[in-house]
Structure 1
């Protein structure tokens, strides 16, 4: 963390291939198999490329601390229980959420290819980063998808003041033809909690409508916000969405729920996160070509719709992130000096070559 949290820092651009290899080597040095390290590092860098810096490689220090404190098992191998031909459950055995969710979506896709739909519940898992990478996994197989997870307490329920529900993202997607695919990935809070951690690392202030401090007052100080609560989007609507994530991901899976998921930055005990994944064949009621053509038409109708005053361009859900990815693939991924120092401390601990700037 920077010594002066309100002093913006110098930024450095890092090549995505170099970054993924760096992250992979740190994971391997921390007793993660090369196969699993490939999955985790790819998912983290995917978030960095899409501009979701809150769920990217900067999570490595917190993940590695959880490993060092035996709160996360880097060598765990998920196991699968087939419940019906189209329903299965994955037990992550307290391993990386990325690995268990990857296996879960892979299984959901394979079932959907046969039965039209595949549903997978994941239990005893951990944080799996940006939900959109699972949507992308389904898109590569020409599948629609739903991706739910629960998370540690950060939001009060509507009318309450204590942290109880997580800022658990809801994500879904659908493939397209010539246009952009549909990718929705959003938290039920005004902002993801990771954005507050990012602001703290980078010495930045936050908008005053994101969170309340421990006394219930609005704040632009990320440190104070982390002592308080996040604010739900749309009042009771965002609050209800966070409860829904807990029902489908926590209650249904048998994992922790109702405020008992452990914060990913708390290395004292396993997180016990639950996920809920669904893959759907889009050609159940028409050909895949017709479906994609209809998606392309929807895309054009959205982006070409009449703009309100002051708006230069209308974007399809997920399009801004795709544009950011194209830019960062060419120009590199921006990191603050303190973020690079945090990553290099992890490299030094396991004698991995440091990330160069």
Structure 2
């Protein structure tokens, strides 16, 4: 296993060229690129440029619309439903968050559900859009069914991530961005690329037995909810995942549960859909709708300081503030570049050859 490091600008140009080859308008290509690069910069390697080939394959299967007419199809003063017209979730979700933010500017909060979309990258990108406006940002999405509910050995839910982001003062934003499964599918993909086993508690085989095989999903197995099993609280992860699924899809008119279309192109969507595409849910709340924004940020700074100074079991380890590792990765990688494993580099260069664009260099 070998890592190669690329300057952010090189990866940004390469990624934009891929989206342009898919037929995306330039503004959409820039936005989609920004979402993916944010993931790589923040150290969430499973959701960055490593996903490019997947988007291209779905586009080739005509399951991603490169030129969507993204629009609001239902709304009130503080709520809306957006139809993504089968577009990249990397473009659709920011559109929806902008709608939520504009409503929040006027009414204090804005809430937007989305149908007919696709994979939207890291949830943190969309929540941080609200933070830039001195708002609390909330984003979540359902995903293709890979997770078995507590006691089941049938895939009925996605990894269904959720994110809450809060602006601080002297500290970076506090960002809680997590899958509601024991592990995101992208972590299995990283283990597959490196040839490493996965920790026990992440997945089970088709019979419901614990498995450390990173290829288990391809063999009829499933991911487990956050908590792994009932004795360790998997019913809580299952409940969180169900909440994401309902807000993202049952509320918007997207597909939910086992009907969510798969992200991989070699698997066809269900023939009996209950909605349209993948669903998201996004929200923005003005802090000054509750108290002066600076007061909130001063007190969140105090909260962070207290937690950072907490007594720990191991004196060499400090309490981690949500979002802190990702922020540190971003500062480091903007200067030192973004590392990509050789398997990903080879995949991207094969993609470049197929699309007729310059390879990574």
TM-score when normalising by structure 2: 0.93
1:49 aligns with 2:48: no
In 2, Cα distance between the equivalents of 1:127 and 1:168? 11
- Partner SS for 2:215: helix
Q: Which residue matches 1:92? A: 84
Greater relative CO (CA pairs within 8 A, separation 6+): 1
Q: Which residue matches 1:251? A: 250
In the TM superposition, what whole-angstrom CA distance separates every residue of 1:161-191 from its partner, at most 9, and x where no partner exists? 1000111001111111112211011111111
How far off its partner does 1:286 sit? 1.7
Q: 1:58 aligns with which of 14, 25, 50?
A: 50
Q: 2:317 aligns with which of 285, 298, 312?
A: 312
In 1, Cα distance between the equivalents of 2:39 and 2:146? 22
1:285 aligns with 2:284: no
How far off its partner does 1:310 sit? 5.4
Aligned length: 348
Q: 1:183 aligns with which of 175, 193, 201?
A: 175
How do 1:65-76 and structure 2 match up within 5 A? 65-76=57-68
**Range that drifts further, 248-257 or 223-232:** 223-232
How do 1:268-283 and structure 2 match up within 5 A? 268-269=268-269, 272-283=277-288
In the TM superposition, what whole-angstrom CA distance separates every residue of 1:238-289 from its partner, at most 9, and x where no partner exists? 0111111111011000000121111111353498110111100001122111
**Range that drifts further, 78-87 or 137-146:** 78-87
In 2, Cα distance between the equivalents of 1:68 and 1:160? 34
1:218 aligns with 2:210: yes
In the TM superposition, what whole-angstrom CA distance separates every residue of 1:67-92 from its partner, at most 9, and x where no partner exists? 11111111113012351111111110
Unaligned runs of 5+ in 2: 228-233, 271-275
1:198 aligns with 2:190: yes
1:153–1:259 Cα contact (<8 Å) kept:
yes
**Range that drifts further, 56-65 or 150-159:** 150-159
In the TM superposition, what whole-angstrom CA distance separates every residue of 1:13-62 from its partner, at most 9, and x where no partner exists? 11111101100001101111111011111100100011111111110001
RMSD (CA atoms): 1.5
In 1, Cα distance between the equivalents of 2:82 and 2:101? 14
In 2, Cα distance between the equivalents of 1:258 and 1:169? 14
- Partner SS for 1:165: coil
1:144–1:281 Cα contact (<8 Å) kept:
yes
How far off its partner does 1:12 sit? 0.6
Alignment CA distance shift 1:212-1:118 (3 Å)? same
In 1, Cα distance between the equivalents of 2:217 and 2:354? 30
Q: Which residue matches 1:23? A: 15
Q: Which residue matches 1:299? A: 304
In 1, Cα distance between the equivalents of 2:63 and 2:2? 33
- Partner SS for 2:259: coil
Unaligned runs of 5+ in 1: 1-8
How far off its partner does 1:222 sit? 1.1
How far off its partner does 1:215 sit? 3.4
How far off its partner does 1:213 sit? 2.4
1:332 aligns with 2:331: no
In 2, Cα distance between the equivalents of 1:251 and 1:310? 47
TM-score when normalising by structure 1: 0.94
**Range that drifts further, 237-246 or 213-222:** 213-222
In 1, Cα distance between the equivalents of 2:330 and 2:288? 29
Q: Which residue matches 1:110? A: 102
